[in-house]
Amino acid sequence: MVFLTRRLHFNAAHRVYNPTWSDEQNEKVFGMCANKNWHGHNYELEITVYGRPNTDTGFVMDLNDLKRIVREAVIYKLDHKNLNLDVEFMKGIIPTTENLVIAMWKELHPKLLPVQLYSLKLYETPRNFVEYRGDK
């Protein structure tokens, strides 16, 4: 098996807060991340698929196909958007990096088949990131 990774980026605004809590509780738990006027990030996504290289092409998957599918499935829906207000698949979900990466996996996984998704690594900043490998 070879693991093939492509790095992509998007910029978005968000606010980390729990709508069932008071403002005080949100402020206490999430601090300035709960700022009511939003803040934002340059997100970096590393998407990893795996398989045996095709004998005719030497590719696990054509990187242009990978880019196109990932852009259509998630990037175009997130880039220059508000994660709390603008993104259908994040409705009702607190937009932490953890919850975002799980939601992105659910969108991407079926669209990549039969190619197998191995991992999504999502950087909120160059020093904070999460990785999700599906329900394993």
**Positions in the binding site for a second copy (CB under 8 A):** 1-9, 11-14, 16, 18, 21, 29-33, 35, 37-42, 48, 53, 56-60, 62-64, 79-82, 85-86, 93-99, 101-102, 125-133, 136
In whole angstroms, how close is the CB of 69 to a second copy at the nearest point? Answer: 15
Upper half-sphere CA count for residue 103 (Cβ side, 13 Å): 19
* Residue 74 vs 95, nearer CB to a second copy: 95
Shortest Å distance, C-beta 127 to a second copy: 4
In the bound state with a second copy, the residue whose beta carbon lies nearer, of 30 and 73, is 30
Q: Which residues of 108-125 are buried (b: 16+ CB within 10 A; e: fewer)?
A: beeebeebebbbbbbbbe
Is 8 or 73 the residue whose CB approaches a second copy more closely? Answer: 8
Cβ 2 to a second copy shortest distance, Å: 5
Q: What are phi and psi of 7, to 5 degrees?
A: -100, 130
Return d(Cα 52, Cα 5) in angstroms, integer: 14
Residue with tokens 């402020």: 27
Tokens describing residue 1: 């098996």
In whole angstroms, the minimum distance from the beta carbon of 60 to a second copy comes to 5
CB atoms within 10 A of CB 60: 19
Please give the distance of CA 44 from its chain centroid, rounded to a whole number.
8
Q: Is position 33 annotated as part of the catalytic site? A: yes
27, 33, 41, 46: which one is catalytic? 33
Catalytic positions, written as ranges: 33, 80, 124
